[in-house]
A and B are shown apart, each in its own frame.
Chain A
Amino acid sequence: MSTSVGFFERSPGSPEIAARFGDLHPPLAPASAVIEAHRCLYCFDAPCTAACPTHIDVPRFIKKIASGNLEGSARTILDANILGASCARACPVQVLCEGSCVMHRNNERPIEIGRLQRFAMDALHASGAPLPFSPGADTGKKVALIGGGPASLACAAELRRQGIQAEIFDARELPGGLNTYGIAEYKLPLAESLREIDMLAQLGVEFHFNATVDAEKLAALEAQFDAVFLGVGLGAIHKLGLANEEREGVTNALDFIAGYKSGTITSVPEKVAVIGGGNTAIDAANAAVRLGAAEVHMIYRRGPQQMSAFAFEYEHAKQEGVRFHFHVTPVGIVGADRIEALQLARLEELTDGMLVPKAEDGRVLEVDLVVLAIGQGTHTDFLRDGKVQLEKGRIVVNRVNGKTSNPKYFAGGDCTNGGREVVDAVADGKRAGIGIAAWLEVAHANA
């Protein structure tokens, strides 16, 4: 199937999910946005811009909100970050732009950059205006992009702006990857992700869905296209390695989040346990609360300081009512047909940092659903024939331009960095798009 418009209209979901996952950070009212924009000092060579992986000129877009030039504000954002709308919602602004705001040093609240960015992008969407960019003059070149996530989308947008044909191949039914299927709905609603991709489609990006790419298919694409961008993200979530893990009632965070976002999961049983300590684990735990679980337990093998989840995510989960269990690990799954309980063991940390379960200090936690969020494997098996250089399953790239060891191949996003923020993937994709265009120009000139 190949289509290029109307994802937003086709977005799945359910009214109940929409009601349960209201905005975590509600949009700014116009008057508040103007006042907030006026608080921005308009720093020279602003730290927030440096802190943004896509280097959005933050003071510039904020001043345009202050002056009422919302059109120019949106263009400023999109010029640096074509997924400005989803990043405005999904970015951990507390540790990026807002974290670096000079206001902190003046003992003041940082400027609400994320919400201002969303304000400008929402205004663009509400105006019905098209993406303020047009495709470049056709170069006759074409690039295949494997994976439809943020890295490929950003790369495709960059290619189109430079007059290069961009075709995205994605294994799913809808584009967007993590943006569409993997980010907590109260941060980035699925429909919003699709609305943004509809705008990209206006640039002429082509999409192929349900198109899983294996080694054979890749070889075909390589022959057919002038360059290939790999934006395949990460693979499946790791398993615990315990007996009975395939039993009903055990799932993983990605399927769980994708399920409720697309409306196939609208409720959860009474007692839910989430295993893990990352931001995805937190998203899953909060989702379980909002989907109606009476008890949501988070099981993490180390202490709160060691969780890879951001501190503000931890605080948020506590407020949602998630109960945290630290220094414990599941050692057994109890239940005949479906899961009934988890056997937990206390963990002891040895001097070298190794964690050892203390079997005698265990307990049993009754649960109806276990959600695993203990990290994702890589998804680069189809590249193992030496097509590009890999390291620990990650594609090795030059971060400046996304080049891999194979001149025809470029890559970016989670499959190269092991899993970072959406905005990092967008930045990777943008750099790779520029890199591909530059390489194609040189290749073309030499040809």
Chain B
Amino acid sequence: MNPFWLASAPPTNCGEQIMRAFDAGWGGAVWKTIGEPITNVSSRYSSIDWNGQRMMGLNNIELISDRPIEVNLREIAEVKKRYPKHVVIASLMVESSREAWHEMVQRTEDAGADGLELNFGCPHGMSERGMGSAVGQVPEYCEQITAWVKEKARTPVIVKLTPNISDIRIPARAAKAGGADALSAINTINSITGIDLDTLEPRPNVDGKSSHGGYCGPAVKPIALNMVQQVMSDPTAALPMSGIGGVATWQDAAEFILLGAGTVQVCTAAMHYGYRIVEDMADGLLAWMGRKGYQSLDDFRGRSLPNVLEWKQLNLNYKIVAHIEETKCIGCDLCYTACWDGAHQCIHLDRGLPSPDITRTPAQIAAISSRTISMTPLPKLDAHSAGGHGPYATPLARIPRVDEEHCVGCNLCSLVCPVPECITMQQRDTGLPPETWEERVAKGAAAEANAITGNPNL
């Protein structure tokens, strides 16, 4: 089964787009939310660039479909006629009345939609009209409307969850209680992407003003993964899941599936690069599955869920320390700076010294260094110099040393190191059996209890 769906958004605005997307290799599409047509503003998108990369995060204040319901329904019918094997889900948002929902469910199913996605997540504009996240944020509404839809629906009903809530499991449980067949998560996150420092106007700029918008793109994936995991690990909330949030590569898709998603929905990446990105997403996922020996998505779906625990269930006696591979070190000393300023001061630049020196701070070393350099040898002009130019071997004094005894194994150095596999975290045997905080507290409580009863064996 092709798990790659386009999320309900501008890339699924009309039948022509969706048919082109199917031609490009998408397995399904969630039609841009259908409801009473709205009027949009301009501009409506804004993005965050990072280190020269465009659109690490995208935000929008676009509303649901601005096209008449009849047009959308007619095109759904057309798409299904031409692409009967592809999944077409109708995303719906109507006013909170039973009749309105019943009517809309009837009409979209009659048009041929394979399923319904209830948009309880849109955080801007629609929520002010009592729809979208205004529903998703109130478990009672969520359950009630899901139940209304289920009274009428003949196709599967997916409830799309908003992340703009303190515990996503609560609306998920409500949706399940209301009879939902599946969930999708997450919708966009409330955000202000930035402010123009020349004009002091926030973005996206609508005649000098802006509004909070929905954040998406690569930046939101960690938040989405966490929310999917939360829902899927909760038996009272878990349902078949369509994972959404920053999915742009096959790795992203695999991660969502490993946390229990059955399909993934993509929007920002398609807005950024077009429908063609699905080719590598599918190709890469299949190649990875081949390497891992997985025949189907079910072979690895949810396989990482047991590995996500509560902090109190982690092994306190597992110890790792940083190890710097000298032959790979290029001497940028970012790990040194990071450890001193950002972590626990256990990396030192004293390999060139006769004995370890753990007292000098980076500022002191920089000051000494700037005092010792006054003239630079020029190859060719200075016969006595080393001659030639780069790459030089990294001087011993620039290769940092880890003070293993004090290294807390936080991992920061290996995260900042620009050279792959230069800094690795190595396990050190503490000689202690695994023990979690939960166990330690329980033991402590037992010891306390025994102390009171006077048990001499503890």
Q: Which of A295-313 contact B (CB under 8 A)?
A: 308-310
B376 and A53 form a contact (CB under 8 A):
yes
Answer yes or no: B51 CB below 8 A from chain A CBs: yes
CB distance from A275 to the nearest CB of B (A): 19
Q: Which residues of B contact A100 (CB under 8 A)?
A: 389-390, 392
* 8 Å CB contact of A310 from B331, B333, B380, B418: B380
Answer yes or no: B277 CB below 8 A from chain A CBs: no
With most chain B CB atoms within 10 A of its CB, the pick from A35, A99, A106, A421 is A106
A101 and B370 form a contact (CB under 8 A):
no
Answer yes or no: A102 CB below 8 A from chain B CBs: yes
* 8 Å CB contact of B378 from A31, A50, A104, A420: A420
* 8 Å CB contact of A45 from B51, B52, B366, B393: B366
CB distance from B29 to the nearest CB of A (A): 34
Please name the residue on chain B nearest to A92 by beta carbon.
Answer: B378
How distant is the Cα of A24 from the Cα of B167 in the complex, in angstroms?
A: 60
Please name the residue on chain A nearest to B372 by beta carbon.
Answer: A50
Answer yes or no: A316 CB below 8 A from chain B CBs: no
| Given A95-B378, A104-B390, A55 contacting B333 (CB threshold 8 A) | no
B379 and A95 form a contact (CB under 8 A):
yes
A43 and B333 form a contact (CB under 8 A):
yes
Answer yes or no: B223 CB below 8 A from chain A CBs: no
Answer yes or no: A365 CB below 8 A from chain B CBs: no
How distant is the Cα of A103 from the Cα of B392 in the complex, in angstroms?
A: 10
B374 and A399 form a contact (CB under 8 A):
yes
Please name the residue on chain B nearest to A99 by beta carbon.
Answer: B389
Answer yes or no: B410 CB below 8 A from chain A CBs: no
Answer yes or no: A105 CB below 8 A from chain B CBs: yes
CB distance from B115 to the nearest CB of A (A): 43
How distant is the Cα of A102 from the Cα of B393 in the complex, in angstroms?
A: 10
* 8 Å CB contact of B370 from A42, A53, A55, A110: A55
B332 and A44 form a contact (CB under 8 A):
yes
| Given A400-B374, A420-B381, A41 contacting B332 (CB threshold 8 A) | yes
A94 and B389 form a contact (CB under 8 A):
yes
A104 and B365 form a contact (CB under 8 A):
no
Answer yes or no: A250 CB below 8 A from chain B CBs: no
Answer yes or no: A96 CB below 8 A from chain B CBs: yes
Q: Which of A423-447 contact B (CB under 8 A)?
A: 424, 427, 431
Chain B 19-54 interface 0/1 with A at a Cβ cutoff of 8 Å (1 = within): 000000000000000000000000000000001100
Q: Which residues of B contact A310 (CB under 8 A)?
A: 379-380
A55 and B373 form a contact (CB under 8 A):
yes
| Given A308-B381, A400-B374, A44 contacting B366 (CB threshold 8 A) | yes
**Number of residues of chain B lying within 8 A (CB) of chain A:** 31
* 8 Å CB contact of A96 from B330, B332, B362, B376: B376
B52 and A101 form a contact (CB under 8 A):
no
CB distance from A34 to the nearest CB of B (A): 6
CB distance from B111 to the nearest CB of A (A): 46
Please name the residue on chain B nearest to A52 by beta carbon.
Answer: B376
Q: Which residues of B contact A38 (CB under 8 A)?
A: 51-52
B365 and A106 form a contact (CB under 8 A):
no
Q: Which of B351-381 contact A (CB under 8 A)?
A: 362, 365-366, 369-370, 373-376, 378-381
Answer yes or no: A51 CB below 8 A from chain B CBs: yes
Answer yes or no: A377 CB below 8 A from chain B CBs: no
A53 and B418 form a contact (CB under 8 A):
no
Q: Which residues of A contact B362 (CB under 8 A)?
A: 44-45
A106 and B418 form a contact (CB under 8 A):
yes
Q: Which residues of B contact A102 (CB under 8 A)?
A: 330-332, 394
Answer yes or no: A335 CB below 8 A from chain B CBs: no
| Given A50-B369, A106-B330, A106-B419, A101 contacting B380 (CB threshold 8 A) | no
CB distance from B442 to the nearest CB of A (A): 45
B330 and A51 form a contact (CB under 8 A):
no
| Given A47-B398, A53-B375, A102-B330, A110 contacting B390 (CB threshold 8 A) | yes
CB distance from B195 to the nearest CB of A (A): 14
Q: Which residues of A contact B393 (CB under 8 A)?
A: 105
B378 and A105 form a contact (CB under 8 A):
no
Q: Which residues of B contact A53 (CB under 8 A)?
A: 375-376
Please name the residue on chain A nearest to B379 by beta carbon.
Answer: A95
Chain A 26-57 interface 0/1 with B at a Cβ cutoff of 8 Å (1 = within): 00000100110010011111010011110100
Q: Which residues of A contact B330 (CB under 8 A)?
A: 102-103, 105-106
Q: Which residues of A contact B374 (CB under 8 A)?
A: 399-400, 431
* 8 Å CB contact of A95 from B332, B366, B370, B389: B389
CB distance from B302 to the nearest CB of A (A): 38
With most chain A CB atoms within 10 A of its CB, the pick from B369, B376, B379, B393 is B376
How distant is the Cα of A53 from the Cα of B419 in the complex, in angstroms?
A: 28
Answer yes or no: B337 CB below 8 A from chain A CBs: yes
Q: Which residues of B contact A51 (CB under 8 A)?
A: 376
A105 and B394 form a contact (CB under 8 A):
yes
Q: Which residues of B contact A98 (CB under 8 A)?
A: 390
Can you list 21 A-B pairs with a CB-CB distance of less than 8 A?
A: A47-B331, A50-B376, A92-B378, A94-B389, A95-B378, A95-B380, A96-B376, A96-B378, A100-B389, A100-B392, A101-B390, A102-B331, A103-B330, A105-B391, A105-B393, A308-B381, A309-B380, A310-B379, A421-B378, A427-B375, A431-B374
Which A residues form the contact surface with B (CB < 8 A)? Answer: 31, 34-35, 38, 41-45, 47, 50-53, 55, 66, 92, 94-96, 98-107, 110, 308-310, 399-400, 420-421, 424, 427, 431
Instruction: Give the 4 A-B CB pairs with smallest separation, nearest first.
Output: A104-B391, A99-B389, A44-B333, A105-B330
Which B residues form the contact surface with A (CB < 8 A)? Answer: 51-52, 330-334, 336-337, 362, 365-366, 369-370, 373-376, 378-381, 389-394, 398, 418-419
Q: Apart from A309-B380, A420-B381, what are 19 other A-B pairs with CB-CB below 8 Å?
A: A41-B418, A43-B333, A44-B336, A45-B366, A45-B369, A47-B331, A50-B373, A51-B376, A66-B51, A96-B376, A102-B330, A104-B390, A105-B393, A107-B391, A308-B380, A310-B379, A310-B380, A399-B375, A424-B376
